[in-house]
Amino acid sequence: MKFDIFFFAALFSLGFMVVVLEFVRARKLKEQYSLLWLLIGAIMIVLALWRNLLKLLGSWLGIYYHPSLLFIAGILFSFALILHYSVTISKLHTQNVRLAQEIGILNKKIEDLNNRINGGKVSENNAAGPV
Amino acid sequence: MPNREKAVSHDKRILVIIPAYNEQHSLPTVISKIRQFSGIDIVVINDGSGDATSTVARTAGVNVIDLPFNLGIGGAVQTGYLFAYKTGYDVAVQVDADGQHNPDDLLNIIRPVLQGEADMVVGSRYLTTTGYKTPWSRKMGMVVLSTVVSLINRQSLKDTTSGYRAVSRRVIEFFADNYPTDYPEVEALVVLKKNGFTIKEIPVTMLAREHGKSSITPLKSVYYMIKVLLAIVMNVLRNPKKEA
């Protein structure tokens, strides 16, 4: 086993996967968001250790400096992951808007109820100020 | 005092939705002008304003919903539709808080919806010469949007960006769940038509804005055009939401 760039790439990927798994274990990362990361880690390890595969793929694709195939793979995966996050953010945005709308309407209802019961004497102001 | 002679409807509940972002100066006039009609409730959606918009509206004695932060016009207007839906209104009318929408046209906008002629009525600046002047660049954008929407909807619609519109109970229910964000007016026309609702355009006069400036800058209007056209194309490609 040579201690070259392939070895370090594999080592880094392995450490990366351990960190991802640790985040999942500590509940800092949800399982569904960890799967893509683990997949990237696993594929990077395979590419780094199985040199003939890297060479074969490289020659198919006309890449003469084989380690650059690792970079390309890494960058493409990053793009896929970022796109995945854009989709997730869009979904969160939609939910966030609906939550704000419901909070606004609920606050109004609470206020109206308060007015009816206490004659407008408010013990606690629930309306949020602008952030 | 509300003028009983001007009562709009005796059995239908009507709600005017006023989305307001930092409109403390123009809001009181808008509210008092709408209040000359009896039988119409008003809700102001305070879209996270930094000024006294909420206080001014409360002082005027209308319903106020304070959003916890700024959602933009689409999110604010939809809050109004959600409120109208939950509290059982039959007709909802959008009116801008900046005073450009003439309350004298209010009844003309509501009437076709009340009489079941259309699910949505849009107050248009361009149907007749109303003396409303716009810069040529903006006019061109409006013509492009009008042409595109008219072609897709197979119905002539002149003022697609007008935010002065009234809708029926069925549309209120639809909008409570489906309302476009960002620049919603144009997109809403396409979405409604696609889902089987009918739209009618009537001429209105626009007033000069009383306070503040238009939020549209050249760069924003380029973004506006691209965003709206993309949204329209996507809507054409999409399937209708459900049996409306």
| DSSP string of chain A, one letter each residue | ---SHHHHHHHHHHHHHHHHHHHHHTTSS-HHHHHHHHHHHHHHHHHHH-HHHHHHHHHHHT-SSTHHHHHHHHHHHHHHHHHHHHHHHHHHHHHHHHHHHHHHHHHHHHHHHHHHHHTT--SS--PPPP-
More confident residue, A20 or B210: A20
Query: A96: distance to nearest CA of chain B, Å?
Result: 9
Residues B188-239 pLDDT 10s: 999 999 999 999 999 998 877 656 556 667 777 788 888 889 888 888 888 7
Q: What does the pLDDT average to over B36-43?
A: 92
The pLDDT of residue B193: 93
Identify the CA nearest to A13 among candidates A73, A100, A101.
Answer: A73
Contact between A18 and A29 (Cβ < 8 Å): no
Tell me if A130 and B63 make a contact (CB, 8 A cut-off).
no
Query: Does the pLDDT of residue B5 top 90, yes or no?
Result: no
The pLDDT of residue B1: 43
The span from the CA of B16 to the CA of B96, in Å, is 10
Determine contact: B82 vs chain A, CB below 8 A. yes
Query: Does the pLDDT of residue B128 top 70, yes or no?
Result: no
Kindly state the tokens that stand for A92.
Answer: 């969160």
pLDDT bracket for residue A66 (50, 70, 90):
confident
* Minimum Cα–Cα distance from A108: chain B residue: B65
Write out chain A residues lying below 8 Å of B178, CB-based: none
Every domain of chain B and the residues it spans:
4-237
pLDDT bracket for residue A1 (50, 70, 90):
low
Tell me if A101 and B48 make a contact (CB, 8 A cut-off).
no
Determine contact: B79 vs chain A, CB below 8 A. yes
pLDDT bracket for residue B119 (50, 70, 90):
very high
The pLDDT of residue B214: 63
The pLDDT of residue A123: 54
Determine contact: A115 vs chain B, CB below 8 A. no
The pLDDT of residue B46: 97
Percent of chain B at pLDDT > 90 equals 62
Query: Does the pLDDT of residue A124 top 70, yes or no?
Result: no
According to CATH, the superfamily of the domain at B4-237 is Spore Coat Polysaccharide Biosynthesis Protein SpsA; Chain A (3.90.550.10)
Query: Does the pLDDT of residue A121 top 80, yes or no?
Result: no
Across the A/B interface, how many CB contacts are shorter than 8 Å?
49
The span from the CA of B112 to the CA of B114, in Å, is 5
Residue type, position A50, single letter: W
Every domain of chain A and the residues it spans:
5-118
Tell me if B64 and A108 make a contact (CB, 8 A cut-off).
yes
Write out chain A residues lying below 8 Å of B181, CB-based: 97
Determine contact: B22 vs chain A, CB below 8 A. no
The span from the CA of B175 to the CA of B185, in Å, is 12
Edge-to-edge, what's the strand order for the sheet holding B91-94? Answer: B63-66, B40-46, B14-20, B91-94, B165-168, B120-124, B199-203
Tell me if A128 and B65 make a contact (CB, 8 A cut-off).
no
Please state, as a whole number, how many other Cβ atoms lie within 10 Å of the Cβ of residue B172. Answer: 24
Biggest CA-to-CA distance, chain A: 82
Q: Of B48, B63, B75, which has the smallest distance from its Cβ to A101's Cβ?
A: B75
Residues B59-97 pLDDT 10s: 999 999 999 999 999 999 999 999 999 999 999 999 999
The pLDDT of residue B216: 64
Query: Does the pLDDT of residue B244 top 70, yes or no?
Result: no
Mean pLDDT of chain B: 87
Q: What does the pLDDT average to over B146-173?
A: 93
Percent of chain A at pLDDT > 70 equals 89
Residue type, position B78, single letter: Q
Q: For the CA atoms of A98, A99, A103, A109, what is the dihedral angle to 10 degrees?
A: 50
The pLDDT of residue A34: 87
The pLDDT of residue A69: 81
Tell me if A101 and B82 make a contact (CB, 8 A cut-off).
yes
Query: Does the pLDDT of residue B3 top 50, yes or no?
Result: no
The span from the CA of B82 to the CA of B75, in Å, is 10
The pLDDT of residue B191: 93
Between the alpha carbon of residue A105 and those of residues B167, B174, B188, the distances in Å are 20, 18, 23
Identify the CA nearest to B151 among candidates B193, B200, B119, B109.
Answer: B193
Q: What does the pLDDT average to over B4-24?
A: 83
Q: What does the pLDDT average to over B121-143?
A: 75
Query: Does the pLDDT of residue A131 top 50, yes or no?
Result: no
The pLDDT of residue A125: 52
Contact between B45 and B12 (Cβ < 8 Å): no
